[in-house]
Amino acid sequence: METLPKFERIRRLTITPGMKLIVMSDMHRGDGSGADDFAKNALIYRCALEHYLESGFIYIELGDAEELWENDNFDQIYITHTPVYELLAKFHDPDPAKTRYLKVWGNHDLYWKDQEAVYRTLFPGIEIHEGIFLTAPKGWKGGVGKDEAKEFGAGERGALPSQRPSDDGIIDSGSGSNSVKAEGGGTGGSCGGSVTVGRAILLIHGHQADPKCSGEGAAVSKFFVHHFWPDLQRCGVKDPTRAALNPGLCNEVDRHLHEWANQNDQGITVIIAGHTHRSVFENLSLTERRYLESKIKTEGIRIKHQPDGCYYNTGSCVHPLSITGIEITFDGGTGTQLRLVEWGQAAEGHALTIQRTVLEGPQPVSL
């Protein structure tokens, strides 16, 4: 059985009826040079955040928001992308129970693990964590089946009920390990083809499942990225060692994360991560889902053939002219639903616009 690692700081968030969350990762905000992968999508990202701000969503930044492997400090990143940070400030509240901006560190911004004070100059009182637990309120017995989920058309754009924070709001479990236990004990088991969460959803960046980007391997990768990669990147060279650019490594990271969700003793039955830059919905990448839908059977092609709702991946904000994320909505009548969404450019007549598209979902989750 894969061993779920120890996490240093975990935040616990109780999902309540009417709550809406958007989870995005891997912005890699840089210094505005040719090595800044985020720059080309900055406007798309800001339009998406404006939508979620106005619609009452909580924004969860799931790691690698800042590119602090390539850049020596945060100052130039902030100067380059000041409008982004001004927009993020509108989500933030110094009171942890009221803030709508939750931040998780990844491997490229692991700097924040020990340097929260720097970020607090912009966002007073903010706490940066290694992971987030999403749980239902005590006594909640809600659930939703796939038939009921069909009433929530995948293309709907209407707002859900306004956010109503729980009495305890967002609970910081403090430093220490990932020792949050499910009520009544038990372990996280297999989810099968649909999501059935009885305990908790874990949100982490995902580098913890990549030996090249965690532990001792991270030091070697960081040295290469910091000293050599920016110049090579400006010349158009692709880095074969990064999971984001290597399908084989993506598969391996996804496999580890899926295994952690399926078999652990922490009451975790779903994991949502980033890191690979490849969107995953119900443990299938978009390529795998399209391949299965096409009914094509090519000899020698190895893919997963069954969806499994234990594992999801947000994708990234550095795709060519688009960004992806996972929306989590919770309604008292229909329960929790997940949607994989993409924001990108679209043409309307002779006008170029930025639009939201639901790629997958809604997928019901029972807490």
Instruction: Using alpha carbons, select from 101, 137, 132 the residue that is nearest to residue 119.
Output: 101
Q: Would you say residue 73 has pLDDT above 50?
A: yes
Query: Binning pLDDT at 50, 70 and 90, where does residue 293 land?
Result: confident
Domain that holds residue 210: 10-365
Q: Look at 253 and 300; give whichever has higher pLDDT.
A: 253
Pair type for strands 335-348 and 322-331? antiparallel
Tokens of 324: 């992806």
Q: Would you say residue 143 has pLDDT above 70?
A: no
Lowest-confidence pick of 122-126, 156-160, 185-189: 156-160
330-341 pLDDT tens trace = 886 777 899 999
Query: Is 1 a member of any domain?
Result: no
Tokens of 118: 């720097």
Instruction: Using alpha carbons, select from 293, 290, 365, 292 the residue that is nearest to residue 327.
Output: 365
Query: Is 4 a member of any domain?
Result: no
Query: Is 2 a member of any domain?
Result: no
Mean of the per-residue pLDDT values of the chain = 79
CA-to-CA dists, residue 170 to 101, 136, 185, 251, 337, angstroms: 11, 12, 22, 33, 20
Instruction: Using alpha carbons, select from 267, 233, 364 the residue that is nearest to residue 309.
Output: 364
If phi over 0 gives left and psi between -120 and 50 gives alpha, with beta otherwise, what is residue 32? left
Query: Is 3 a member of any domain?
Result: no
Query: Is 161 a member of any domain?
Result: yes
Tokens of 260: 């952690």
CA-to-CA dists, residue 108 to 12, 29, 72, 161, 217, angstroms: 23, 10, 12, 36, 13
Q: Would you say residue 61 has pLDDT above 80?
A: yes
Question: Which pLDDT score, from 0 to 100, does residue 171 have?
Answer: 35
Instruction: Using alpha carbons, select from 159, 103, 162 the residue that is nearest to residue 128.
Output: 103
User: Quick one: average pLDDT of 182-200?
Assistant: 45
Q: Look at 22 and 298; give whichever has higher pLDDT.
A: 22
Query: Is 214 a member of any domain?
Result: yes
CA–CA gap between residue 310 and residue 234 (Å, rounded): 38
Question: Which pLDDT score, from 0 to 100, does residue 89 have?
Answer: 98
User: Quick one: average pLDDT of 49-67?
Assistant: 97
Lowest-confidence pick of 103-107, 181-185, 260-264: 181-185
Q: Would you say residue 188 has pLDDT above 70?
A: no
Number of domains in the chain: 1
Q: Look at 1 and 51; give whichever has higher pLDDT.
A: 51
CB neighbourhood size of 206 (10 A): 29
Lowest-confidence pick of 22-31, 121-130, 162-171, 341-350: 162-171
Query: Is 197 a member of any domain?
Result: yes
Q: Look at 89 and 145; give whichever has higher pLDDT.
A: 89
205-238 pLDDT tens trace = 999 998 876 555 555 455 445 444 455 555 555 5
Euclidean distance between the first and the last CA atom of the chain, given in angstroms as a whole number: 24
